[in-house]
Structure 1
Amino acid sequence: MPVISLFYGSYCNGDEVARELVEMLGYDLVDDREIVREASKRFKVEESKLLKAMAGKPSVFNKFTHERERSLAFLRGALADRMRADDFLLFGLIGHMIPRGISHVLKVLTIADMKHRATVLSKKENLDEKEAARRIHREDESFVLWVEYLFKSKDPWSPELYDIVLPMDKNSVESAAIVVCDNIRSDVLRVTDASRQAVEDFILAAEVGLKLALAGHDVGVEAECGTVTLSINKHVMRLSALEQELKALAGKVSGVTGVETRVGSGYYQSDVYRKFDFELPVPSKVLLVDDEREFVQTLSERLQMRDMASAVVYDGEEALSLVAEDEPEVMVLDLKMPGIDGLEVLRRVKREHPNVEVIVLTGHGSKEIERECLGLGACAYLEKPVDIDTLTRTMKSAYRKLKDKKSRESGEA
């Protein structure tokens, strides 16, 4: 029987409709967390990273590290394996990754207008309806980001993404399930040789995508009967060299009979193609914290020329917020800043995020302050003006220290 992919707006009875359908059809229920667990086990990656790739904000470092693309390649691989079977209901965000070409998948959305959703939440948790609406908008942000990433659309409820849209302010759970059951028996959704081939194409594309992601590449991948098409969506100076490298990698995947490349619509935009090199002995997630904007922006550019991906913030409050959301490997920290000063940032970062290696870089130092910084856990103390080579050597040393620490912790585990 066909596969059902069910997505939902919060407070729209999506989980109840899913359970009703599973009971009525005898299907297996597979949710996002199950796919995450399978991907985590198969590819030896933390579940939290995979969940963040789906539902979290993109990392400020991602355009350099392609960490999100690798995580989604793992998830796509686990989902593709699952698609070898039928008779299951896929519940959550992950169903959006199923290509439209697999015609025996029925894509369903349960949704309602904001007034209805806010009323449901306000009654459930005794909230003011305006506060309930604000909370729902916040919860919807992850859905918007996910759909924008996959489809370049900011509307996760767009009817174009689904075969059936069920307004739950007008349907009961039972009536919604009956609508789905009536539609799933349509001849259009029958499992055919063509739809089976589409699944095999999806599996092959997922395997090629994984191969390229693990090599540090970020390209679109499609497959059709053994022929793989790779889409380059960022500008690259030596296109022919990149195409040769991509074709060589993709051609090694079992089942690939031919590889084609093309430039996508994003190729002509200003973004630059960057392959991530996993072997470089430099940190890939560097946070620069300094209120001297021109200085720190120039420093960021010079570090990027040395293959160090860096993000920039201009005060201590921003720094603490970013570290809490997206922990860097190395932080280069100024001391004298408005608001929360560098010493307090250092103190809180080392207390709450001990794996972040902090290099203090200040123009207002002294031996006494240096001793205090090192005592608080800074791995190095430098004074401005600093030679860029000295700074990069210090950053590489901090990164080696971090890798050695993680290696020891991994061995002990």
Structure 2
Amino acid sequence: MNDLDPVASFAALLTDEGRALLDEVRGTEPARELAVATRLRRDHPAGLVSAALAQARLRQRAAAKFGADAERMFFTPDGVEQATRTAVADHRARRFRELGAGSVADLCCGIGGDAIALARAGVRVLAVDRSPLTCAVARANAAALGLEDLIEVREGDVADVDASGYDAVFVDPARRGGRGRIFDPEAYSPPLSWAVAAAREAPRAALKIAPGVPHEAVPAEAEAEWVSDGGDVKEAVLWFGTEPGLVRATLLPGPRALTGRDLPDPAVRPPGRYLYEPDGAVVRAHLVAEAAAELDGGLLDETIAYVTADTLRPTPYATAYEITDVLPFNVKRLRALLRERGVGVLTVKKRGSAVEPEELRRKVKPQGPHAATVFLTRVQGAPTMLIGHPARA
């Protein structure tokens, strides 16, 4: 095995010897790696042992995204970092099926996370990537999950792909470079403008982009969807061939979808008994007004995405807290209040405040058997602390 050739190194893992090593090192704890490697190198090439241990580590990391499938799949470090988690990929695959797509050209397929979800939804996939190693991993994953009949992996430049024979196109540009995350959509690889042009030529298309993309960068003919999973915002997607101009926040699991109605900003009002923290996808999609309308609520401050209301209403789009105290920001007053209440477990949330949660915890030194949540924010422009706890139905 040529240790300098990553494709050859990976291919060695697919041999009988490599697969046996992968089974043997499964679940190896970091503290035991050196001892395990020393033992295995007596009977196996050192490079193969190192590759197997590295793959075992990647599989452990990937379990958060791929669940039980991670134990059968193969990964690269970038692939684990950039791959779509299964719940999100499954949601997108369902949407493609609902749009009538029986075949999809997956451009910039990476290790094949989205291709796998599409294939499991019964969609025929052409998966394209320019990296030889990434393509080898994607092929191995299709085979490992029994989906090779539905997934064709092709190495090449996505700009050279003729996708005209496919019902839809999916593009997931690389948004990381040598210096980390890339925030300029035109610095994506390929650039967002190229992806939009490719989408316009297809009957249907979806472009995965960073959730922080400016709304003004969304083409007029696209639907913009922000997706969160378990409360964490994962991505934004531009859909073509759906409803132009629609804005949607999708919350997983569920899915639950909140769509834009062009509502005016909610009125600013004094704090009520309840504070609602909208899901991050709702905030990113600029749909706080739609969430507030469902709650008959208003804003604490015109620039802050906290909704306040007098009544408790169930909603999937925001987390509700019952507020017990509203105080001007003052660390000494907060420390005294927490000691009086016996609060030892303090959750600190903030919007519109420069104070760091860990810094505040160090200063107030919470002690006691009870728990509380403090919100550091602004109320009609004034720095304010709201103390409360998760609301109980």
TM norm. shorter chain > 0.5: no
TM-score (norm 1): 0.28
Instruction: Select the structure that is richer in strand.
Output: 2
Q: Larger RCO: Structure 1 or Structure 2 (Cα < 8 Å, ≥ 6 residues apart)?
A: 1
